[in-house]
Structure 1
Amino acid sequence: MSAPERIPPRGVTTDEPLAGLLTHGELTVRGRIREASNAALYCTVAHEGREAACVYKPVAGERPLWDFPDGNLARREVAAYEVSEATGWGLVPPTVLREGPYGEGMVQLWIEVTTEGDTAELLALVDGEEPEPGWKAIGFADVGDDRTALLVHADDERLRRLAVLDAVINNADRKGGHLLPTAEGRLYGIDHGVTFNTENKLRTLLWGWAGEPLTPEALEVLKGLQDALGAEGALAGRLSALITGAELDATRARVAVLLETGRHPEPSGEWPAIPWPPV
């Protein structure tokens, strides 16, 4: 018997066989990702001679969240992937909802991050009051010994697209550790379980463009999302099976506000704007 074909650790968003692999393949649990606050299992998935590494997060392993009483983390993770796909930016690794060894959960392609794709190229702590060219200021951080440093992120097109996606899905937890740059130059965002709330809960490290005009590309993408989220839109149909009607309406409203203002959102000042811990 020949060895199964290993799928490279990168997302090809239009790869139907890959979607079939994640959806129909046999899941084998290899270990637990201990850093995760909810059950996250490192697995392999094999189907029709193909095999890939993936993450399986069963609903049964989720901890209840008082401010996210509806639905579950797994379905919101899949919903975030669906919105990412609708943008055409491919910012979330291929993600599906399916049954696994511990019941229903989300299964997401494992993304390998190499030294060539270090997050240090995207986030940094620097001295001074203003960032250097090519960087955007987030805010000041306590680094101990009564010292502060300026937390900055790269003025990077991939991060800016991710900031727009986060504004649409109302991401309450965009940490540095959720950014996965690859050696091929791709950037993925992961861990989208606390999203789509009907209340504004945007918490992120990507505030560097706050209040700035959206790019022409982003505005075109948002117009496409607005159409896709319409009553007869394909995206609306997919999301309705994953999030509540109120959450879907709130998503439509966020897209409408972004198009109306034409600007990146700013912190509301009603709660901490940066997640903790930030990385």
Structure 2
Amino acid sequence: MTPVDRAPDAADRVTEVLARGELVVHGRLADASNAVLYATATLGDRRVRCVYKPVAGERPLWDFPDGTLARREVAAYEVCRALGWQLVPPTVLRDGPYGEGMCQLWIGPGPHVPDTDPDTDASDTDASNADTSAADGRETRDVRDTDEEPGGPETEGPETDEDGHGVGELLALVDAESPEPGWRAVVRAQVDDGRTALLVHADDERLRRLAALDAVINNADRKGGHLLPLPDGRLYGIDHGVTFHTEDKLRTLLWGWAGEPMPEPVLAALRGLLAELADGRPLLVRLRELLSEGECQALRARTATLLRTGRYPRPGGEWPAIPWPIL
């Protein structure tokens, strides 16, 4: 099995399965604000575990148009690929059991689906054991994280081990006035019993790239739980539904480099992206299928501004800069 970012065509193979494979839903992830369904997509002898978020299961937001979150997630993947980075799992827009939605490669150990075979459609299982409903009202089961994988054909995707690495290697709350070497201060946060602690994140090259990506796509919700580090050193960011707004909405935990110069490799990636956002280029053609014209123009303007300043942005002041809850 080849991880998705170890061979030039690996991501394309995964997106083909995600886009064209038979999509079977096994359950709904508990505690998600929108409908987030655990599924598998199978094409011939290839199978991938995935997350399926149907548009019909999106809750309305006051500041984003209804029914657009799935397309924004796909746009985030397209922009990340154009930057030359593998920070967003392969993501496609497709039809599924509950209508059009975003389908994204599952990262990490698979969840446990109680009392059902992984190859059984959750909508066909006994409804008396289900406690959540899918987008169109059909019953699905809650699923929770475990290391279980679906049986059947070979499952493609990132390799993981049981030990895994957690968000704790990237984010921490520390009882100190300043961060230790290798960490960056973000903000003082209130914790239990009225105490305060210093929120810090790792001074990590992967996070530097992710912070730049968030600035480009105007990510309004970079929580700690949206960071998925793997034992082999790879890092993925997920949940990019509230992105690409025309107004400044950047809300993130990765403010440790605010106002500082971006590394040259990051600036080189931004120069390449700006070239691909020119009229007539395939990337812009694709993004116009996913975003409004105003959002595409704002994306191009943000990228140009980052290149002009050469620095990570600072909090704007008109929008809460830190997401809550932090994780």
Asked whether the two chains share a fold, i.e. TM above 0.5, the reply is yes
Q: What residue identity is the alignment partner of 1:59?
A: V
Report if aligned partners of 1:229, 1:252 keep a CA contact under 8 Å in 2. yes
1:14 aligned onto 2:9: yes
Map of 2:35 onto structure 1? 39
SS in 2 for 1:223: helix
Shift of 1:10: 4.9
Map of 2:264 onto structure 1? 216
Shift of 1:8: 6.6
Report if aligned partners of 1:43, 1:54 keep a CA contact under 8 Å in 2. yes
- Would the alpha carbon gap of residues 255 and 156 (structure 1) be closer, same or farther in structure 2, given more than 3 Å must change? same
Q: How does 1:1-279 map to 2 (within 5 A)?
A: 10=4, 14-15=9-10, 16-69=12-65, 72-112=68-108, 115-279=163-327
CA–CA distance in structure 2, aligned partners of residues 256 and 89 of structure 1 = 19
SS in 1 for 2:80: helix
Q: CA RMSD in A?
A: 1.4
Q: What residue identity is the alignment partner of 1:17?
A: R
Of 229-238 and 165-174, more deviation after overlay is shown by 229-238
Q: What residue identity is the alignment partner of 1:75?
A: R
CA–CA distance in structure 2, aligned partners of residues 174 and 10 of structure 1 = 23
CA–CA distance in structure 2, aligned partners of residues 111 and 9 of structure 1 = 11
Shift of 1:179: 0.2
SS in 2 for 1:192: coil
SS in 1 for 2:164: helix
CA–CA distance in structure 2, aligned partners of residues 210 and 59 of structure 1 = 34
Q: Show structure 1 runs of 5+ residues with no match.
A: 1-6
Report if aligned partners of 1:173, 1:275 keep a CA contact under 8 Å in 2. yes
Between structure 1 and structure 2, the one with the greater Rg is: 2
Shift of 1:91: 0.6
- Would the alpha carbon gap of residues 9 and 142 (structure 1) be closer, same or farther in structure 2, given more than 3 Å must change? farther
Shift of 1:11: 5.3
Shift of 1:258: 0.2
Aligned length: 273
CA–CA distance in structure 1, aligned partners of residues 163 and 288 of structure 2 = 39
Report if aligned partners of 2:56, 2:67 keep a CA contact under 8 Å in 1. no
SS in 1 for 2:290: coil
Report if aligned partners of 1:70, 1:244 keep a CA contact under 8 Å in 2. no
Q: Matched residues, percent identical?
A: 64
Shift of 1:183: 1.4
SS in 2 for 1:30: strand
Q: Show structure 2 runs of 5+ residues with no match.
A: 110-161
Q: What residue identity is the alignment partner of 1:183?
A: P
CA–CA distance in structure 1, aligned partners of residues 47 and 227 of structure 2 = 24
CA–CA distance in structure 2, aligned partners of residues 227 and 168 of structure 1 = 14
Scaled by the length of structure 2, the TM-score of the pair is 0.81
Report if aligned partners of 2:4, 2:14 keep a CA contact under 8 Å in 1. no
Moved over 4 A (4+): 7-13
Map of 2:115 onto structure 1? none
1:138-182 Cα offsets, whole Å, 9 max, x none, are: 101111223100000000000110000000000000000000001
